[in-house]
Amino acid sequence: MWNADIYDSFGKERMQPSIDLAARLKDKKFKRILDVGCGSGMSTAAILSTWEDAEVIGVDLSEEMLQKARKILPQVQFIRRDCSKSLADLGTFDLIFSNAFLQWIPNQEEFIARAFAMLDEGGVLALQIPMFDEMSASRCITDAEKNWTQQLEGIEENKFITYTAAHYYDTFAEHTTKVQMWVTDYCHIMQNHEQILDFLRGAAFTPYQSRLDEEEMQVFAEEVLARIKEEYPTRKNGTVLFPFRRLFLTGQK
């Protein structure tokens, strides 16, 4: 289950990609915007700060996240929806925006095709995807899994699914010739290794929390932390650098 408070404990770090994605499109005028996988509203806030006069709708599966979003942004219509399924009943949009959502669903090509179909002519699909599988933190978790094979049997179907940047380009190129793509490494400066673990608790640990009880989860987290300490050396001033790679794509219909 999502924990909105844990997720938002690194709100600044998680919101910055939404700000950067919106900034690439700030010269365009959008009247109707759909924020897919809006979570607790951090991405929606970035949208509103860029396009103040737009009608914005946020959709997400987590009611806990949506409750927090409604308190922060009461002027936005937030709707609980399974975003892996069709959203066509919501109408068409000038911009479909999604920050760190796509990796949670298996039918990503279908989602992208449906999103382009929901765009008005000249509309834009804009996505940010954490390239988590390319990061050392991902290996820390998968290595720890080996000690929990019985409890975590079948866990793959609940984990992140990410592909190469080239794969996502090819998928976008099936629907438009106007594609922009870039990668940014956000280098988070953590005060200690435990902060990296806390960051992972906000999203990457979600599939494990439904498979392990509280005591098992604590042991699993300690095993991951031990590997984090090996992968991410402490700097001379005592801080720990935590690079986080994110892929951005925009496509205009």
pLDDT recorded at residue 157: 74
Strands (E), 153-214: 178-190
Token pair listed for 234 = 């402490």
Dist. CA 248–CA 165, nearest whole Å: 9
Backbone angles phi, psi at 9, to 5 degrees: -65, -20
3-state helix, strand, coil in the chain (%, to 5): 45, 25, 30
pLDDT recorded at residue 165: 96
pLDDT recorded at residue 50: 96
Close Cβ partners of 134 (under 8 Å, ≥ 6 residues apart) = 162, 245
Q: Do the beta carbons of residue 173 and residue 225 sit within 8 Å?
A: no
Q: How far is CA 156 from CA 48, 106, 161, 163, in A?
A: 35, 11, 9, 14
Burial 203-217 (b: 16+ CB within 10 A, else e): bbbbbbeebbeeeee
pLDDT recorded at residue 154: 85
pLDDT recorded at residue 156: 82
pLDDT recorded at residue 2: 43
Instruction: List residues bridging with 179 in a β-sheet.
Output: 251
pLDDT band at 159 (very low <50, low <70, confident <90, very high): confident
Dist. CA 17–CA 10, nearest whole Å: 12
Dist. CA 121–CA 92, nearest whole Å: 10
